A = this chain, B = another copy of it.
Amino acid sequence: MPNTHYDIIAIGNAIVDVLSAASEDFLAEENINKGSMQLIDADRAEMLYTKMNAGHEISGGSAANTLVGVAALGGRCAFIGQVADDCLGKVFQHDIRAQNIDFKVPLRDAEIPTGRCLILVSPDGERTMNTFLGVAQYLHSEAIQPEMIEKAAILYLEGYLWDPEQPRAAMREAIKIARKAGRKVALTLSDAFCIERHRDDFKQLINDGLIDILFANEVELKSLVQHDDFDRGVSEVAEKLPLLVVTRGPNGAIAIKDNIRTETLAKKVERVVDTTGAGDLFAAGFLAGQARDLSIAASLEMGAIAAAEIISHYGARPERDIKKVIESALNVSLN
């Protein structure tokens, strides 16, 4: 197998987050299911934006957030996703490249605008996402650069992007390329409602042995197995996969590899400001550890530290030097 040029290549929604504080009342009035992600169209996006509080615009997208975390921890990354040649598209392109992540998909003409996610942050830090996918949902198979995928140790796929047809086809194609090249494939289940929409597909991918690493949170895992017995659910899924990682919010996270279950506690955070990106950054820390051939325990610890940083401020991109924090906590060098 030839050497890898990237630790991770990810395919995901290329979107800019618009974060703003929202009361519980506002969520109720707007009939928005707290804590979830829902897809919205252009009209709804316009209407909701008009009503919501002043915002911060910060580049986002679940898999892109994860890559930014991996890159901040010294990993070599590339991203595949679609933005338009408009202001938000240029912001996304700038921000991901500024993190030393290869991003080569050409900007599309701005007829369909760059996707955005209106994120309503409740007083308790919980985030509710209203995603207008925009041009992100028109990611073509042609945007999948086989030579980049062949050179990446892990292909990381964002479950959210399973919704629109073209990116789903593109991701199926990417899985084939990665497996043919002997690379690993990781999938994040993204959201319980996303699983509702695509449970059969996700199960099929797992049953066909196409997924090497699966990321889920507790709610998503239960949605996948369609029952509430967490430990039984974990066993059922873990036996079909080389590696399963399940995050449990304030209760930490677990990983099951070769029937061995490893746990980590969540890190204490002085004040939870905004949980946007907690799962994304957990995956980042974990994957960065795996890319360094660190143990499962150390990788989980890295995930927990990265997640703790991200929930202590607005937005899903790190603000502090998480590499330094992790190096000092684990007594490792990530250079």
- Residue positions of A touching B, CB distance < 8 A: 20-21, 49-50, 52-59, 68, 86-88, 91, 94-96, 98-99, 273, 313-315, 317, 319
Residues in chain B near residue A21, CB distance under 8 A: 319
A54 touches B99 (CB 8 A): yes
Instruction: Determine if B59 and A58 form an interchain contact, defined as CB atoms under 8 angstroms apart.
Output: no
A56/B58 in contact, CB under 8 A: yes
Min CB–CB distance A67 → chain B (angstroms): 12
Nearest-CB distance from A120 to chain B (Å)?
13
When C-beta atoms are compared, the residue in chain B nearest to A18 turns out to be B91
Chain B residues with Cβ below 8 Å from A315 are 56
Number of copies of this chain that the complex holds: 2
Complex A-B, nearest 8 residue pairs according to Cβ-Cβ distance, in ascending order: A87-B87, A57-B57, A54-B95, A54-B98, A56-B58, A53-B98, A56-B56, A54-B99
Closest to A56 in B: B58
Q: Are A68 and B56 in contact, CB atoms less than 8 angstroms apart?
A: no
Which residues of B sit under 8 angstroms from A98, Cβ to Cβ? 20, 52-55
Interface core residue of A54, A56, A94 (most chain B CB under 10 Å): A54
Structural contact, A94 and B57, CB atoms closer than 8 A: no
Residue of B nearest to A86 (CB): B87
Contact A56 B53 (CB under 8 A): no
CB of B94 within 8 A of CB of A317, answer no
A317 to B91, CA, bound (A): 20
Docked-complex contact B313 and A54, CB < 8 angstroms: no
**Can you give 19 A-B contacts (C-beta < 8 A)?**
A20-B98, A21-B319, A49-B94, A50-B94, A52-B98, A53-B98, A54-B94, A54-B95, A54-B99, A54-B317, A55-B95, A55-B98, A56-B56, A56-B57, A56-B315, A57-B58, A313-B313, A313-B314, A314-B314
